Structure 1
Amino acid sequence: MTNELFTIRDARPDDKAVLDGYANLEGMDAIPSIEGVRVAVNEDDEVVGFVRIALADDGTAFVNPVITHETWRGFGVGRALMEEALERHGELRLVSRGGSLPFYKALGYERIGWDLIEMSLVDDCDHCEMREECGPVPVRKVL
């Protein structure tokens, strides 16, 4: 996918350190691998955002996570990554955390029950000491 400011491509092994750095800036652990990761890159091929899709045993696609570098927020990077992932998979599920719910609602995501979330593919919210502060909400969108 291409727009005037960035292009989306598969992540490459040399992107991993940047992806882990972006995750760390958001208070997350390093991503386990670049499998299922698509990146948005600027004209210099520098990563400005990424989405990682983890697949459940039944093939359901879970976003875990989507991150846009703070200097690129507001330029449509996160939206483009999510739209492309939805086109590829037909349905996306995720757990919205912190202040991200308005972003997902603006993209048309709807609340779902926790029973539709594959907990082995997302962080375990049940035992998280920051659950109240984080306010996790399971959501999905279907094409």
Structure 2
Amino acid sequence: MADLFTLRAAVEADRPYLDAYCWNEGMDNLPSLERVTVAANADDEPVGFIRIALGANGAAHVNPVVTHASWRGYGVGRALMEAAAAEHGELRLVARGASVPFYDALGFEECDWGLIDTSVTENCEGCELVDECNPKPMRRG
């Protein structure tokens, strides 16, 4: 399935896609395109992306990984996660409860909240959707 898309660094022309994908998932727009990798289809349109945020302790945090709904099941999210792991080694993240099975399949395990950088968790505190989201701190190393 890897011939359906390629991975590349995000460029400014990708921003409308990435912002729309964030909005569809109930997230804010990305603060920058630094450390953002996109999966692009044959027309070079983003069909998914991953952003790696480096914590104060230097740990790499997935924040976020998103695949367009029409591309789910084609290995886009897995390819983005594997590329990030190959580059950064250990990955940490806060998973929405519904996405925990995806991360479980990639070998992630639940971990202590203290391992997740506060820049990644700040949106969880006080969020009105926290009960619906059911966030879980996870890591793979």
- Asked whether the two chains share a fold, i.e. TM above 0.5, the reply is yes
Cα deviation code 1:29-63 (max 9, x no counterpart): 11111011000001110100000000012221000
Q: State the shift of 1:126 in Å.
A: 2.5
**1:5 maps to what in 2?**
4
Structure (1 or 2) with the greater helix fraction: 2
Q: How many pairs does the alignment contain? A: 141
**1:134 maps to what in 2?**
133
Q: State the shift of 1:123 in Å.
A: 4.0
CA contact (8 A) 1:16 1:33 kept: no
- Structure 1 gaps of 5+ residues are none
- RMSD between superposed Cα atoms in Å: 1.2
**1:24 maps to what in 2?**
23
Misfit runs of 4+, over 2 Å: 121-124
**1:47 maps to what in 2?**
46
- Structure 2 gaps of 5+ residues are none
Structure 2: distance between partners of 1:98 and 1:23: 17
Q: State the shift of 1:127 in Å.
A: 1.3
**1:105 maps to what in 2?**
104
Which AA in structure 1 matches 2:14?
Answer: D
